[in-house]
Amino acid sequence: MTDAAQPDWPQVLVVDESAAGQRLDAFVAAQLTAYSRAAVQRAIAAGQVSVDQADVKPSLRVEFGWTVRVAQIETVRPGPEPEEIPLDILFEDDWMVVVNKPAGMIVHPAKGHWSGTLASALAFRFGQLSTTGGPQRPGIVHRLDRDTSGVIAVARDDRSHEALAAQFKARTTEKEYWSIVRGVPDRDADVIDRPIGPHPKLREAMAIRPNHPDVREAVTTFEVLERFERFSLLKVLPKTGRTHQIRVHLTSVGLPILCDKLYGGSDRITAQELSRVPGVELREPPANAILQRQALHARRLSINHPSTGERITFEAPLPEDMAKALECLRSVKN
């Protein structure tokens, strides 16, 4: 169904005698035949379906006379449109591709971001990729946040996808990130072992939630590579792969990632701000920001090749914006 063919929302459905006893998801899908049962289930999970008489869940058995209100059901697009977007390819063969993803690029299509994705660029460059992740995520085995740069591995066929995904699940991959953070740790290395769950107020954020029913174990280690007056360069080694894990964990110990707007409050910094003396105001207007995204880079990834089993390490050089920020910090330090 195209966007233009969608019905007017909301849709109000009344359960008649013939539908009584059906599961809620089956009932809605039968009434709104343009949508799959899976799409209806996603809408229910997103809180888009309400029933006054009962708590809503897909398996709820509807009763005669009930009114079901459907706020909206989103269609699933068939997949990313191939787009001619330059890619920094670190490695490619018949089984996998490894890319140095730039900051600002979303990995796969999502609501509000249907073009300009890594998946679209890969579809143009390589054509057929693995289908295991679904039509919107061809080849995508793992992901990086939009404003995180660095190494990401992509599968070219389903067997390779399964072999790579199994490594991430078993935690046999080795992931190394570099990050510039606000604050200076009092130790050279540390382990952050704090469970992560949905943020209590911000839908797009995560938080340390030890007692939340959807909480998941999360472990991150870090080492200090370089210290400055008010900032530090860290090597970060996540042992688990939770959403926003590094960002949430570092913030929780008083080391928010530089220019992480969601968790640190500001999304840009200038050379003057990096080098100014604490307590002294800038007398001249700041120059253009040298960093306008979270200073987090996936520096290195070690995995076993999905066909040969050989251990391979891929490394992406530090991007220009983070390198410039470090040059500024080092110039003040020296």
Residues 6+ apart with CB under 8 A from 72: 9, 10, 43, 48
Residue 16: how many CA atoms within 13 Å on its side-chain side? 3
Q: For residues 299 and 221, give the distance between their C-alpha atoms in angstroms, rounded to a whole number.
A: 15
Question: What are the tokens at 320?
Answer: 């220009």
- Say if CB 191 and CB 176 are below 8 A apart: no
Question: What are the tokens at 172?
Answer: 């046999």
What radius of gyration, in Å, describes the C-alpha atoms of the chain?
Answer: 24
Catalytic residue flag (residue 52): no
Query: Residue length, the chain?
Result: 334
Helix (H, G, I), strand (E, B) or coil at 162: helix
Neighbours of 68 (CB within 10 A): 22
Q: Catalytic residue among 8, 93, 94, 145, which?
A: 145
Q: List the beta bridge partners of residue 193.
A: 219
Q: For residues 125 and 56, give the distance between their C-alpha atoms in angstroms, rounded to a whole number.
A: 44
CA angle 68, 70, 76 (to 5 degrees): 140
Q: For residues 240 and 226, give the distance between their C-alpha atoms in angstroms, rounded to a whole number.
A: 25
Give me the residue label for tokens 């379906």.
49
Give me the residue label for tokens 């008010």.
230
Q: Which residues are catalytically annotated? A: 145
